[in-house]
Amino acid sequence: MRLQNKTAWITGAGQGIGEAVARRFAAEGANVALTDVNPETLEMVARDLGPNAAAFPADVTSKEQVAAAVKGILERFGRLDILIANAGVTRDGLALRMSEANWDLVVDVSLKGTFLCCQAAMRPMMEAKSGRIVTTASVASLGNPGQVNYSAAKAGIIGLTRTLALELAPFGIQVNCVAPGAIDTPMLQAVKEPVREEMLKRIPAKRFGQPEDVAAAHLFFCSDQAAYVTGQVLFVDGGLTTGI
C-alpha cells in the first residue's frame, strides 16, 4: 500500500487512463477524488470503487467548477496530496483546415485545464508543504501531422510542468509529467482501423499500451521512490520515441 492516507485528485477519471489511475491508486490505499465532464461515467467509476472514492464532476476549462471541486475534495477528505491532471481531448485535422473551434477546445481542455487544476491544487499543497502533481503530455508533443492543436497543447504542458517544478520545489511539491504513446483507451479506439494498424507497425514493443501501463508511471511519480524527482517527463510508449 504505497498511497495509504493520501488523497489523490484525478481528472478525466470517467474512463481510459484516468479510470485506470483511480483504480490503481485506490488499490494502493489512497482516497480518490474523481473529476470528469461526463457525470454518468464518473459516477459509475466512483460507485464501483466504494467509500474511499468520491465524484466531483467538473469541466476543467472552468475556473469556477475547478475551484468548487477542490473545495468539495477538502471538505470530504480534509486534504489534497496528489493531483493527476489527465483530462484531454483530440480534434484532429491538418493545420490548413483546422477550425478555430477545434484549436480552442483542444488547447483549452489540455493546456488551460491542466493549468487551472494545478493552480487550484497548489494552494492546499503549499500550506501542507508537500504534494505531488503529475501532468499528461503525449508522444504527439514531439510533432504529429494532423494534430497541430493537440501537439501544441501537449508540448505546452511540458513547459508548464518544468516551470511549476521550479516554482513549487521550495514548497515540497514535485511536478512531473507522463507522456503516453498509443494507449488502448476510448481515445485510441476512436482512431480509424487502417491508421491504428500503421501506428502499431511503428511501435517497437509491437503492442498498444494498456491504461495500467500508464497508471504504473503515475504511481512511481507519486510514491516515496520518487522523493527526489521533479520536472521530469516519462514517456510510456513501448519505445515509440526511442531511436531516429
Ligand X SMILES: NC(=O)c1ccc[n+]([C@@H]2O[C@H](COP(=O)([O-])OP(=O)(O)OC[C@H]3O[C@@H](n4cnc5c(N)ncnc54)[C@H](O)[C@@H]3O)[C@@H](O)[C@H]2O)c1
* Residue with grid cell 491532471, as numbered in its chain: 85
Whose Cβ is closer to ligand X: residue 152's or residue 182's? 182
Instruction: Report the run of H or E that residue 191 belongs to, with start and end.
Output: none
C-alpha cell at 12: 478525466
Min CB(195)–ligand X separation in Å: 12
Number of residues in the chain: 244
**Footprint (CB under 6 A) of ligand X, residues 24-63:** 36-38, 41, 59-61
Say whether 150 is catalytic.
yes
Candidates 68-76, 92-100, 185-193, 220-228: pick the segment binding ligand X (CB under 6 A): 185-193
Of 126-134, 160-168, 169-177, 180-188: span binding ligand X (CB under 6 A):
180-188
Residue 29, helix vs strand vs coil: coil
Q: Assess contact for 54 and 46: CB atoms under 8 A.
A: yes
The DSSP string of 104-141 is HHHHIIIIIHHHHHHHHHHHHHHHHT-EEEEEE--GGG
Among 7, 31, 86, 176, binds ligand X (CB under 6 A): 86
Give min distance, CB of 146 to ligand X, in A. Answer: 14
The residue behind cell 493549468 is: 115
Per CB under 6 A, 239 contacts ligand X: no
Which of 187, 217, 222, 240 touches ligand X by CB under 6 A?
Answer: 187
- Pick the closer one to ligand X by CB: 113 or 131: 113
- Residue 28 contacts residue 219 (beta carbons within 8 Å): yes
- Minimum CB distance to ligand X smaller for 7 or for 151: 151
145 or 186: CB nearest ligand X: 186
3-class DSSP state of 34: strand
State the catalytic residue, choosing from 150, 208, 221, 235: 150
Distance CA 139, CA 14 (A): 22
Neighbouring-strand partners of residue 33 = 9, 54
Query: What's 183's DSSP letter?
Result: B
> Which residues 87-146 are close enough to bind ligand X by CB under 6 A?
87-89, 109, 113, 136, 138
Letters for 4-23 (x = contact with ligand X by CB under 6 A, - = none) are: -------xx-xxxxx-----
Q: Which residues contact 220 (CB under 8 A, 6 or more apart)?
A: 226, 234
| CB nearer ligand X, residue 45 or residue 165 | 45
Stretch near ligand X under the rule CB under 6 A, chosen from 69-77, 80-88, 117-125, 225-233: 80-88
Nearer to ligand X, 78 or 186 (CB): 186
Work out the angle between the directed axes of helices 148-168 and 100-107 (0-180°, nearest 10): 30
For ligand X, the binding residues (CB under 6 A) are: 11-12, 14-18, 36-38, 41, 59-61, 86-89, 109, 113, 136, 138, 180, 182-183, 185-188
Task: Please identify every residue annotated as catalytic.
Answer: 150
